[in-house]
Every structure is written in C-alpha cells, then in structure tokens.
Structure 1
Amino acid sequence: MRKLFLLLILFCAIPNAGYAGIPQGKTDKWIKINKNWSIDTEDVQVRNGKLRFYMKRIGTRNEFGEHSKYLLTFTGKVRINCDNFSAGIQVKRNKGSYSSLDWNPITRKHIGYNLAKYFCFLTGSEGYTRETNEPDWVTKVINIQSKKQSGNINCDSPVWKNKPRCN
C-alpha cells in the first residue's frame, strides 16, 4: 500500500506529457464566439479592403445542409470583402485543400455580418468605424492585428490621416 501511495505521488509530480511542446500562450488561440462558431484569433489577414478568418463551425442537433443528411460542421476560411459588403466561405476538404469561393451579399444572419461589423474598420474601407461595445474575442483580435500592423501605417499620409486608426 505504501509503494502504491509513493507511485501515485510521483505520478502527480511529473508534468503531464500531453502538454509537452505546446506553448502556454497558444491554448486560447481558438475562441468560441457563439453556439456554432469558433474563431482563430491569431491568424487573421487584413489586406486591400478584405478580411480572412480561419473558423470552425459545429452544427447543432438536427441542423443539416440544404440537400444533405450531414450536419453543418466544418473548418474553413470566412472571407469578407468590406468594399462591397460581401462574404464567402471556403470549407477545408479532407486532403487539406479548400473549396472554391462564392461571394454573396452579407445578410444579418450570415456569420460574415458580425465579422464585417467588428473588423472592416481595420481595412481602411470607407464608412466603417470601430464598434463601442465589442465582445472580448473581438478586442483580442483587434489587439493582435494592431501589434502586427503598427509599423506599416503612416498617419501623416493623405491616405491614412482620416482613417479611424489614426484618429
């Protein structure tokens, strides 16, 4: 009994190998933003009026595709065109490639609506301003993007001086 107790203490004292090699800061990279969607907060692309997010969608019970018996569960890219308020979703396939991209106008029920609402101001596209009551996950993405892009903007430039980032 004494040996078993000593083995148990020794086992608890050894760090868990399941976390070996994983940086501590990477554990909260993916954040659940609603009942269906999670977002990769670190790998966001902002370029030329467009946004790209890696996202995961988990289908809820009895939620199926339009002509499918499969749950609407997938990992993929959500792309937003802030200049013309359209979005497209590219689903990751089994071999790592992504489906083709079909751009559609954004509606209030589309996942792209909140993404455009919260992040299009980062692109410099006309008419977008930062929201005042943003969820924590939005603030996290914006802070990460600000750190990435802080060196690329000249607020004295005529192009940038009236943008929200420079005011």
Structure 2
Amino acid sequence: MAIIGQPRSFHKRFKFLVKIDDIGHAGFQKCSELSVEVANVQYFEGGSLIPNKSPGRLTFTDVTLEQGATKDHQLFDWIQDVVHMSSGLGLPDALYKRNSDIVRQDRDGTTLRRRSPSRAWPVKFVAGEWDNESDENVIEAVTLTYDHFELVPQSTTSPQSATTI
C-alpha cells in the first residue's frame, strides 16, 4: 500500500521577500548585507601636521539573494536585459534599472525590516549546481548592484519617513 504524504512547501521557510518593479515578488532564503562606506578625504592645509578630514565618495556593496530553483525565470530575463544593454543595443536605464524592496519577515509573516535599494540591476546570476545523487535542492543566486538604498522604519512605510542613503 502506498503512503501518501504531504508535498514539500518551502514558502513557509522564506525569510526575505523581495519586491522588484515589473517583476513582482519572490521569496529568498538568504540575503547578504546592504552597506555603505564613506571615503575619508584628508588634506593638509598650509603644511599643517594635522589633517583636515571631510567625507568623500560613497561606496555601496552589492547584495546577493539566494533561493531554491523555481519555474519562474523573470530574474534570469532581467539579467538578459542587462546583457542586451551592454552588448551595444543601448537600452535606456528604465528598461533594466529597477527599484526594489527587501523585506525581512518573521516566521508568521510580519515585517521585521525593510530596505529599499534604488535603481538596482543584476550583475551576476548563478543557476546552481545540479547533482542527481544529492537530495539537496538547486540553489539559484542573483547579485544586485544599486545606486543607493533607504531604510524604511517598521512603524510606517510612507516614503516621507524613509531614510535615504
């Protein structure tokens, strides 16, 4: 007699929900850090031994998102748009740079934190290793670069209260 079990559902394990313009949303298991670094510009005025310091250029780290492979291919299509743009077709920014929200959720689905990278676009897509002898799922990863990001407070999601970096 066959044993009928429940199909696996990984949706309850998603901890990050990523919403991207023109793509919709996708659940991810892992999300790397979003960070910004301000360069320290030093100059010595009039032969002074003590430098005058001021903030310089901002550097944003790329963010990497990982999920189990699905039938959805919208993220791969997005990187294809970037490939076509870089191959000389000259697509305008609006066709490949998109605003996004990375929402960290609790187990019950409540929003813990929200980060909003602006004008993001994929720089790397990894389809994952296929191993027929393994019980592991294929993990896809996409790395996004962005112009800047906002930290949206928990209490409200209005754009007026967001902190832009």
**TM-score, scaled to structure 1:** 0.27
Greater helix proportion: 1
**TM-score, scaled to structure 2:** 0.28
Structure with greater contact order relative to length (CA < 8 Å, sep ≥ 6):
2
